[in-house]
Amino acid sequence: MAKGTEIEKLKIQFLEYVEIERGRSLKTVENYDRYLTRFFGQSEVKKPKDITDEVVRKFRLWLNRQPVPTEHGKDMGTLKKNTQNYYLIALRSFLKYMMMRGVTSLPPDRIELAKVGERSLDLITAKELIRLLDAPSGKNVKEMRDKAILETLFSTGLRVSELCALPREVDLSADEMSVRGKGEKVRVVFMSERARSALTKYLGIRKDMDDALFVQVGNRARESGSLRLTPRSIERIIQTYSALAGISKKVTPHVIRHSFATDLLSNGADLRSVQALLGHAHIATTQIYTHVTDPHLKKIHQDFHDKGRK
Phi, psi angle pair for 121, to nearest 5°: -100, 135
User: Are 159 and 258 spatial neighbours (Cβ–Cβ below 8 Å)?
Assistant: no
C-alpha 219/C-alpha 177 separation (Å) is 31
> Is 270 in contact with 286 (CB distance < 8 Å)?
no
Give the helix/strand (H/E) hosting 92.
Answer: helix 81-100
> Please, what is the Cα angle at 174 between 293 and 177, to 5 degrees?
60
Catalytic residues: 159, 182, 254, 257, 280, 289
User: What is the C-alpha to C-alpha distance for residues 120 and 290, in angstroms, rounded to an integer?
Assistant: 12
Q: Is the dihedral of CA 182, 184, 185, 189 positive or negative?
A: positive
Asked if 17 and 55 count as a contact pair (C-beta separation under 8 A), the reply is no
Distance of CA 275 to the CA centre of its chain: 15
Q: Is 279 left (phi over 0), alpha (psi -120 to 50) or beta?
A: left
Amino acid, res. 14: F
Helix, coil or strand: residue 1: coil
Separation CA 277–CA 168 (nearest Å)? 22
